[in-house]
Amino acid sequence: MAENIKITVINKGSEQSFEAPDDVGLNLMEFLKATDHHEIEGMCGGMALCATCHVKVLEGNTGEEGINDEEAAILETLPEVFSNSRLSCQIKLTDKIKNLKIELV
């Protein structure tokens, strides 16, 4: 049964909470764009090629899928990368995730 995922977004020091459906096939990049987070460009459309969807994951698991080699390689191209860096387009919003706290980079 579909449930909502609680997503807390920290952006420039302010914190906002959202709920996202877990059954419509969105990824986190698409959700952030849909909620007017214009800092997230998502230029490659979620193909793990541009890194313009970079976020830090502060709390919550990101599902069963971890960082694959492709995502890790793109993250390494960024001037600043953190131990909790992720490409938000590679985080699928499914029922494997209950809540997330992220920070826009």
Q: Name the residues that contact ligand FES, by CB under 6 A.
A: 29, 42-44, 46, 48-53, 74, 87, 89
Q: Are 26 and 20 in contact (CB under 8 A)?
A: yes
Work out how close the CB of 44 gets to ligand FES at its nearest, in angstroms, rounded to a whole number: 3
CB 7, min distance to ligand FES, A: 17
Say how many Å lie between the first and final Cα of the chain, rounded: 33
Nearest to ligand FES of 42, 93 (CB atom): 42
Strands 85-87 and 54-59: antiparallel
| Closest to ligand FES by CB, 3 or 78 | 78
Using CA atoms, how far apart are residues 53 and 32, in angstroms rounded to an integer?
A: 9
